[in-house]
């Protein structure tokens, strides 16, 4: 009967060893973020992201362990568990991608609702959102934009009350396409909503690239584990 290919066996081991190391790094880093974040009073979204990374790191570690041990010990049980777990993750990725594509319009509606909430915060005159308004003003200067959807109109009465240089262009930029004249001032004409949307699109491209890369690695892992599983069965 044919034996187990040493090349495939050790390729499977090396592949999963690096997989396990990546899981350890992600887990250690996310635990550090979680602990320091709790001590420094970080916001709930950052802590939730750290919790998600802890879960991801733990799953990758377990998968790497199963794959390494299954390859070295030639354990069909471990290899099958590795195969099933990896297949489930791949299916979840595909389902998530399909749901994201199908519900794209709903995501856009939710995004527009979020932008409307930002506009309400910018127009608030109660002082409740003053800190947020100051941070958004910094965002405008950094990204050379003004308002959210309708430019300076999104600030309402606050446009001339809160900051003297609200949305104002630098002197050397006033004659460029970046600026327009509004109430005797040269301000940035691009709404910040366009900037935010572009940043989201850029991040989505990165996320999609990572997802496709992971899918390719996962498919490779499935092929290796099932090939080794079958070879051990024929041994």
Q: Please spell the DSSP secondary structure of the chain, one letter per residue.
A: -----HHHHHHHHHHHHHHHHHHHHHHHHHHHHHHHHHHHT--HHHHHHHHHHHHHHHHHHHHHHHHHHHHHTT-HHHHHHHHHHHHHHHHHHHHHHHHHHHTHHHHHHHHHHHHHHHHHHHH--SSTTHHHHHHHHHHHHHHT--SSSSGGGGGGGGGTTT-TTTTBPPGGGTTSTTEEEETTEEEE-S-HHHHHHHHHHHHHHHHHHHHHHHHHHHHHHHHHHHHHHHHHHH-
Q: Rounded CA gap, 196 and 191, in Å? A: 9
pLDDT band at 213 (very low <50, low <70, confident <90, very high): confident
Higher local confidence (pLDDT), 25 or 47: 25
Q: What's the whole-number mean pLDDT along residues 182-186?
A: 84
Q: Is the pLDDT of residue 141 over 80?
A: yes
pLDDT for the residue numbered 41:
55
pLDDT for the residue numbered 201:
76
Q: What's the whole-number mean pLDDT along residues 81-101?
A: 81
Please report, for the chain, the start and end positions of each structural domain, with discontinuous segments joined by +.
6-102+207-234, 105-195
Q: Is the pLDDT of residue 153 over 70?
A: yes
pLDDT for the residue numbered 235:
64
Q: Is the pLDDT of residue 132 over 80?
A: yes
pLDDT for the residue numbered 133:
87
- The mean pLDDT of the chain is 81
pLDDT band at 6 (very low <50, low <70, confident <90, very high): confident
Q: Is the pLDDT of residue 109 over 60?
A: yes
Could you identify the residue written with the tokens 């958004």?
Answer: 136
Q: What's the whole-number mean pLDDT along residues 138-148?
A: 89
Q: What's the whole-number mean pLDDT along residues 65-72?
A: 86
Q: What's the whole-number mean pLDDT along residues 69-94?
A: 86
Q: Is the pLDDT of residue 76 over 70?
A: yes
Q: What's the whole-number mean pLDDT along residues 26-30?
A: 83
Q: Which two tokens stand for residue 188?
A: 């940035």
pLDDT for the residue numbered 170:
86
User: Maximum Cα–Cα distance for the chain, whole Å?
Assistant: 88
pLDDT for the residue numbered 1:
42
Are 89 and 214 in contact by the 8 Å Cβ rule? The answer is no
């Amino acid at each position: 009967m044919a034996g187990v290919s040493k090349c495939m066996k050790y390729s499977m081991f090396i592949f999963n060893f690096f997989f396990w190391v990546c899981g350890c790094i992600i887990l250690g880093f996310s635990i550090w973020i979680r602990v320091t974040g709790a001590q420094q009073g970080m916001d709930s979204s950052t802590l939730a992201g750290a919790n998600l990374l802890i879960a991801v790191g733990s799953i990758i570690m377990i998968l790497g362990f199963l794959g390494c041990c299954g390859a070295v010990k030639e354990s069909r049980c471990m290899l099958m568990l590795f195969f099933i777990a990896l297949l489930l993750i791949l299916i979840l990725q595909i389902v998530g991608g399909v749901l994201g594509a199908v519900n794209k319009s709903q995501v856009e509606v939710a995004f527009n609702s979020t932008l409307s909430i930002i506009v309400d915060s910018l127009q608030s005159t109660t002082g409740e959102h003053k800190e947020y308004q100051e941070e958004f003003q910094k965002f405008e200067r950094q990204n050379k934009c003004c308002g959210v959807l309708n430019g300076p109109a999104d600030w309402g009465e606050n446009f001339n009350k809160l900051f003297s240089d609200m949305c104002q262009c630098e002197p050397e930029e006033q004659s460029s396409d970046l600026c327009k004249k509004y109430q005797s001032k040269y301000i940035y004409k691009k709404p910040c909503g366009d900037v935010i949307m572009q940043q989201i699109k850029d991040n989505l491209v990165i996320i999609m690239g990572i997802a496709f890369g992971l899918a390719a690695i996962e498919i490779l892992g499935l092929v290796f584990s099932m090939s080794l599983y079958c070879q051990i069965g024929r041994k």
